[in-house]
Amino acid sequence: MTHFRTTLRLGVAGLAALYALASPAQEGMTRSPVDGLGIAWSVAGEGPVTVVLVHGWQCDRGYWREQVAYLADQYRVLLVDLPGHGASEGGRTHWSMAAFGEDLAAVVGETVTGPVVLVGHSMGGPVILEAAPRIDGLIGLVAVDTFRDALSPPPDEAALAAAMAPVEADYAGVVRAFIESMFVETTPPGLREEIITAMMAGDRDAGLGMMRGYARMDHASAFARLEVPVVVLNSGYRPTPEQGLRALHPLLVVEEIEGAGHFPMLEIPGRFNAHLDRILIRLVEGHVAGQSHGAAPGGVREQK
């Protein structure tokens, strides 16, 4: 993992002089401020900027396995298993995105000092949106293949109950079809089966609870509370309502990456990493410019 741009090195060196970094453990468990559940996390790499990677529904931090070494070459990388996922504890009663946001903010507050970028995939997008106002040092959000339905207001409880009825009646069948719809023709078959098997193994009650919590989220209100730039990095297999999203938040841009379905970080990791890298550089440079009144030119590192 070599050959970063000189410009970003200069920018990061400038940030290092501005912030005193903590020396965190490489893994740990934080208690949720919501209900005391244990939240597992791990850290890789060192650097003045921490990139926090947040997984989606019925996934875990292992879905970022292709990004960790790449990002840890320059950044401090914090990976979190949300409650009910991976090595974290489950058994929550109300699975709201706001609760997940509080969970994430608690982990970041306990383990991070200095500038932070939150990266959330799928359901992780709403989670980082909810966490954002609670996090000191936040310089930007990156939302991966998400927010396509952010313009829809939350349904009333009767409509939500009607929508959830078929899922409750045939959870396994509906969830399998839902997951299978996330892939494209070029998704590697082995990866497809791995994801289906892993997500289907998730707890049914938690899965249903998170579906309800996701549906109840008021994206417009959450965007109204956001004060930092957000980049929506979506796969091109489905359209994204770019104009509507920009109306919700003026510091939002939408970028597309082709050749992947819902899991671009696993389906096309090399191109995804390069694209994410460029986004992170821009966010860091924007922050450096705000601190020192002079932005550095951009760039991207070479792939191995």
Give 286-296 pLDDT, tens digit per residue: 888 877 654 43
Predicted pLDDT of residue 59: 98
* Domain count within the chain: 1
**C-alpha distance across the termini of the chain, in Å:** 6
What's the whole-number mean pLDDT along residues 84-91? Answer: 97
Residue 302 lies in a domain: no
* 118 has a pLDDT exceeding 60: yes
219 CB burial (10 A radius; 0-12, 13-18, 19+): buried
Q: What is the pTM of this model?
A: 0.89
Q: At what angle do helices 204-216 and 97-111 cross, to 10 degrees?
A: 100
Contact present, 243 and 222 (Cβ < 8 Å): no
Distance, C-alpha 80 to centroid of its chain? 10
| 139 lies in some domain | yes
Residue 211 lies in a domain: yes
User: What is the pLDDT confidence band of residue 1, given thresholds at 50, 70 and 90?
Assistant: very low
Please report which residue ranges of the chain form alpha helices under DSSP H: 6-18, 68-72, 97-111, 124-131, 157-169, 171-180, 189-200, 204-216, 219-224, 242-248, 264-267, 269-292
- Report residue 187 as tokens: 């998704």
- Residue 16: partners with Cβ closer than 8 Å, 6 or more residues away: 48
Buried b vs exposed e over 8-27: b needs ≥16 C-beta within 10 Å? beebbebbeeeeebeebeee
Q: Which two tokens stand for residue 228?
A: 């930092």
**What is the pLDDT averaged over residues 205-215?**
98
Q: Chain-wide mean pLDDT for the chain?
A: 90
Q: Rounded to whole angstroms, how far apart are CA atoms 259 and 22? A: 39
pLDDT at 291: 72
The SS3 call for residue 253 is strand
Give me the pLDDT at residue 103, please: 98
3-state DSSP assignment of residue 135:
coil
Task: Place 169 in a pLDDT band, splitting at 50, 70 and 90.
Answer: very high
Do residues 234 and 240 touch, judged by C-beta distance below 8 A? Answer: yes
Predicted local confidence at residue 293, as pLDDT: 53
Rounded-to-integer distance, Cα 134 and Cα 107, Å:
11
Task: Specify the CATH number for the domain of residue 156.
Answer: 3.40.50.1820
Single-letter amino acid, residue 162? A
Domain-embedded: residue 283? yes
The predicted-structure confidence for 212-250, as pLDDT tens digits, reads as follows 999 999 999 999 999 999 999 999 999 999 999 999 999
The predicted structure's pLDDT at residue 35:
96
Tell me how far apart the alpha carbons of residues 83 and 100 are, in angstroms, rounded to a whole number: 8
Q: CA 132 to CA 129: how far, in whole Å? A: 5
Give the C-alpha separation, 56 to 166, whole Å. Answer: 22
Domain for residue 299, yes or no? no
Average of per-residue pLDDT across 82-100: 96
| Res. 119: pLDDT tops 80 | yes
Structural domain contains residue 282? yes
- Pairing between β-strand 38-44 and β-strand 76-80 as defined by DSSP bridges: antiparallel
Query: Which whole-number Å values give the CA distances from 114 to 2, 63, 117, 189, in the listed order?
Result: 24, 25, 10, 41
pLDDT per position as a tens digit, 11-58: 444 444 333 333 444 899 999 999 999 999 999 999 999 999 999 999
Q: Which of 14, 40, 23 shows the shortest CA–CA distance to 113?
A: 23
Q: What is the pLDDT of residues 257-269, one digit of tens each?
A: 999 999 999 999 9
> 83 in a domain, yes or no?
yes
Q: Which domain holds residue 215?
A: 6-292
* Any domain includes 297: no
Average pLDDT over residues 72-80: 96
